[in-house]
Amino acid sequence: MGCSASWWIQTLCVCFIPLENAAVQVTVRYSRLEVVQGEFVLLPCAFVTTSPLSRLNIIWTLAPFSNPEAPIQVIVYDHGQVIEDPSLTGRVGFADIPWTADIILNDTQISDAGIYRCMVNNPPEAGDPGIAELVLSVIMPPSLPVCQWAGDVEVGGSVTLSCVVGSGTPTPEIQWAKLNPEEISLPVNMEGDLSGSVQIVNMTSATSGLYRCSATNPLGTQNCYVNLSVYSPSESSPGILQGVLLTLSMALVLLALLAVALWLHRTGPDGRWRDAKEQREEEEEEECYNEIRYTPTLMKRSFV
């Protein structure tokens, strides 16, 4: 029993010594907070003081992750007056002043992320002001990535598929996959944090298909797609082949026509000559022989 009594006394002493020395006791319920961009967050800061609250002074400061060298005074409570930083006017306010130093931050932005410090002073309570710190992270889902391709989409060619995601906190992970015939993931070359590309070399017709880039962080996934159609020179040549074949067949037809024309030229006159010859031969019997013999050769010559 004596043992436990001395433990109690010790504990009480430990509790009271800081109170006597330093003034206002400040505590935060959480030292780390996370909020989704656009939502509100309550930054807790409770204090204990023995003096009346008429001269209470509270100062909240922020060292933003985006610019730690330039801390700002988020909001100040002094003698019953509230002063906000102009950049936060309308978005920040005390939740239950003067009973706590909690503040509410509305419509949170990525730039709100950083180390917040709550400092409470309550004269005439002596000693240093009570100070507490907490870290606020503002997270946001990935934005819609942009997919692009560049290169030769023909058999044997190579293509680069690139994917750029504008924003996302924490930084989204970029992945590429070919979706058909079955889904396979592809090795991604990262260019910076927000851009990832895939190199496809020596393409075959099997390279054709739908490709997906996905940007993922704990808040979600966004996708964009590239539909690649690899053409082969043999696939494209039917047009050329058809053209060649058409020209060839036209040439053949022309040749045939020419041959027919030549044949007609040769046979036609001869045929007519034969008719004429027969006629002449009939006439020949009544008329002169000499005349008839010369005529065919003359006619032949004139036709050839």
Ligand X SMILES: *[C@@H]1O[C@H](CO)[C@@H](O)[C@H](O)[C@H]1NC(C)=O
Contacts of 126 (CB under 8 A, 6+ apart): 23
Site for ligand X in 63-102 (CB under 6 A): 90-93
Smallest gap from Cβ 229 to ligand X, in A, equals 5
- Tell me: does residue 106 bind ligand X (CB under 6 A): yes
d(CA 200, CA 111): 39
Nearer to ligand X, 210 or 240 (CB): 210
In eight-state DSSP terms, residue 80 is T
Position 151 contacts ligand X (CB under 6 A)? no
Burial class (CB in 10 A: 0-12, 13-18, 19+), 251: exposed
Rounded Cα–Cα distance for residues 18 and 130 (Å) = 11
Which residue's CB is nearer to ligand X, number 99 or number 263?
99
Q: Count the residues of the shown chain that bind ligand X, applying the rule CB under 6 A.
A: 11
**Does 157 sit near ligand X (CB under 6 A)?**
no
Looking at residues 238 to 257 of the shown chain, list those that interact with ligand X (rule: CB under 6 A): none
Q: What is the DSSP code string of 85-140?
A: -GGGTTTEEESSTTT---EEE-S--GGG-EEEEEEEE-TTS-SSPEEEEEEEEEEB
Copy the structure tokens of residue 149: 């391709």
Among 4, 229, 290, 302, binds ligand X (CB under 6 A): 229
Give the nearest distance from C-beta 192 to ligand X in angstroms. Answer: 29
Closest residue to ligand X: CB criterion: 93
Q: How far is the CB of 240 from ligand X (least distance, A)?
A: 21
| Closest CA relative to residue 24, chosen from 77, 105, 100, 94 | 100
Residues near ligand X (CB under 6 A) are: 40, 90-93, 104, 106, 202, 210, 227, 229
